[in-house]
């Protein structure tokens, strides 16, 4: 427990609607996290690195928390669970990794969603909120995300959040035990600002026409 006390948790990120929140994982999330991951194994495994044999055990979860705490301490990453506030159930997760400052000021993001909660728009609003946090609070300039070419749901999510398709990363990551090509997407701070300004302008014009 001292390990977690010595590593401050990032503040929760509230999502639109008031029913969902991004929170840093804590030991008390284990039971709900295991339930969602266990019921979604066949849905998630084709898109993720191979799961360790003890991945869903309490020992495996504790190992995850230690890694997340180390990443926060080293300022190279932040991990959040997508929490349903009515019952504190983790229904998905999203992470910032490979944070680089200096002349790069960039990072990568990744995410997963429990099968029962997919295709409801929850991860879309989570990605947008996390990008705002990255640009406004971490003061980074560029966000990268990668997905498998046949993961059309993920590529559609990134495009809808304003990400640009940059190219193909050959054998980029080992997924489900095999090296796989990935599509590379990116979002720059000015891209986000342009999207926000366009949305404000559109809203202003709509109000003028009423």
| pLDDT digits 0-9 by tens, 18-30 | 999 999 999 999 9
Q: 205 pLDDT exceeds 80?
A: no
pLDDT reported for residue 207: 36
CATH of domain 2-209: 3.40.630.30
Q: What is the DSSP code string of the chain?
A: -HHHHTSPPPPPEE-TTSSEEEE---GGGHHHHHHHHHHTHHHHGGGSPPPPTTTTSHHHHHHHHHHHHHHHHHTS-EEEEEEETTTTEEEEEEEEEEEE-TTT-EEEEEEEE-GGGTTSSHHHHHHHHHHHHHHHTS--SEEEEEE-TT-HHHHHHHHHTT-EEEEEEEEEEEETTEEEEEEEEEEEHHHHHHHHHHHHHHHHHHHHH-
Confidence label for 195 from pLDDT (cuts 50, 70 and 90): confident
> Is 99:73 a contact under the CB 8 Å cutoff?
no
Choose between 197 and 120: higher pLDDT: 120
Please state the domain extents for the chain. 2-209
Pairing of strands 164-175, 178-188: antiparallel
Q: pTM (2 decimals)?
A: 0.89
């Amino acid at each position: 427990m001292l390990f977690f006390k010595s590593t401050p948790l990032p503040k929760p990120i509230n999502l639109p609607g008031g029913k969902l929140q991004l929170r840093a994982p804590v030991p008390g999330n284990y039971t709900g996290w295991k339930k969602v991951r266990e019921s979604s194994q066949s849905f998630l495994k084709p898109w993720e690195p191979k799961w360790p044999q003890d991945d869903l055990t309490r020992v495996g979860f504790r190992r995850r928390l230690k890694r997340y705490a180390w990443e926060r301490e080293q300022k190279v990453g932040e991990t959040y669970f997508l929490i349903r506030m009515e019952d504190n159930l983790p229904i998905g997760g999203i992470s910032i990794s490979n944070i680089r400052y200096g002349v790069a000021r960039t990072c990568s993001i990744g995410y997963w969603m429990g099968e029962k909660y997919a295709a409801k728009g929850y991860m879309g609003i989570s990605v947008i909120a996390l990008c705002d946090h990255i640009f406004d609070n971490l003061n980074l300039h560029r966000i990268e995300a990668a997905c498998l070419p046949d993961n059309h749901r993920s590529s559609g999510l990134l495009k809808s959040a304003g990400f640009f398709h940059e190219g193909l990363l050959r054998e980029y990551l080992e997924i489900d035990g095999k090296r796989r090509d990935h599509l590379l997407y990116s979002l720059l701070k000015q891209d986000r600002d342009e999207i926000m300004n366009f949305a404000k302008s559109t809203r202003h014009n709509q109000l003028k026409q009423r």
